[in-house]
Amino acid sequence: MQHFYNQALVSLLCLLLASGLIGYVCVDKTFMRVSLLPVSETDLQWKSEPHTDVYQGGSSQLKITDDTFSLNFNFTLTSQTQYPFAAVNLVFTGDNTEPELADLSAFDRIVFSAKCSTANTLSFAPLTFDEQVSKAGDFLTYRAPSTFFSCTSHWREIELDLTRLETPQWWFTMFKVDLSRKEYTLNKVAKLSFGSSVQTPMDTDSNVQLSQITLIGHNWFYLYLFGVLMLLLWGSYAVWLFRRHNQALIRTLRDKIQRDRPLVAYQQLSVEPLRDKDRNAILHFMATQYANADLSLDAMASEIGVSRTKINDILKSELGFTFTGYLNKLRLTEAARLLAQAEDANIAEIAYSVGYKNVSYFNKLFKEEYSCTPKIYKNLCDKTPGTST
């Protein structure tokens, strides 16, 4: 059995290691973080473009000074138009740098650090393609749910919830959309916009720096996959362990039965001519009287005329057992034979037939001897040819 235990331990350690590695990968895939900066390290391809009120007749200005390692831009709002604005758009692109819709549905937050030369309140909005309203390429028709964040001369970490953005009312009015239809999706996002708000100072040169722009989200598929894989792996291990344990136990029982054959009481006792008649008398008496439930060391000593001390000394030197140990060995070996041979073996009857008055005590001794209960031993013998001979 020791080989089985060693094998089971090694397999367990390997399984724990594999579970840890799979768990690490699945958790990493479940809780996603995609950084948009620096550009060379992002998984989402995009390009920056300025966007102002010029096309509405305004004169606001915006200049991007860096979009590689951070998003750094200067802008100035003027009141020449009714709704002045200036923004930097991060336009998602494909491999050919052409605009392309990005699926951001797995993300629920965007985190970044912000710093402004003068205190400001800026806006953030993803431009999303609305299946019922939007027309491909006409960004005015795209839904732009937005939110706002404050920006000062000191670096500050900003975290925005992508699931709780508000679509501006003008969009509902312009495209005659019911105000109650506030839900939006992020599976088709054309661009992310960082820009001015109605609280942005007018006619003031402003510098904005955004760094470490990161999308954060989750994909529960990988966590479910981890659960399924663990169920399969550990379930398979449990089945393998059960089968290998049975096989190892059967091999152990076979070896034990072979080693115990000289002690089997039903065999004709073959004792070589002994130099001492006391030894002969002790071995013969125990081989024929072991099934007597009232057999004791005192009774045996009185019956064969050998002292208690000498009986134990002879058994210890000849067989390595005390009187009680050798008596239990004979009884349990005969019980094992009966369990293996009798198809309808009754455990209680067998216990009584080999000299035990207490079935629970018999079960305890049997398990200590054979590492399994009599019932399990019987089932294993029924499935294993060659154990009943």
- When pLDDT is cut at 50, 70 and 90, the band that residue 147 belongs to is very high
Q: Of 379, 378, 347, 349, nearest to 363 (Cα)?
A: 347
Q: Tens of pLDDT along 249-274?
A: 777 776 766 666 555 543 444 444 44
Within 10 Å of residue 206's Cβ, how many Cβ atoms? 21
Chain center to CA of 329: 47
Residue 259: predicted pLDDT: 64
Residue % of the chain over a pLDDT of 70: 92
Contact between residue 15 and residue 234 where contact means Cβ atoms under 8 Å apart = yes
Residue 46: predicted pLDDT: 95
Listed in sequence order, the DSSP H helices in the chain are: 2-30, 169-174, 220-260, 277-289, 297-304, 308-319, 323-341, 347-353, 359-370, 374-383
Domains and CATH numbers, the chain: 36-218 (2.60.120.430), 264-383 (1.10.10.60)
Q: Tens of pLDDT along 190-224?
A: 999 999 999 999 999 999 999 999 999 988 899 99
Q: Tens of pLDDT along 217-250?
A: 988 899 999 999 999 999 999 999 988 887 777 7
Sequence length of the chain is 389
Q: Tens of pLDDT along 323-356?
A: 999 999 889 988 888 888 877 778 899 999 999 9
Q: Tens of pLDDT along 33-47?
A: 999 998 888 889 999
Residue 339: predicted pLDDT: 84
Residue 266: predicted pLDDT: 39
Residue 260: predicted pLDDT: 63
Q: Is the pLDDT of residue 127 over 70?
A: yes
CB neighbour list of residue 173: distance below 8 Å, 6 or more residues apart: none
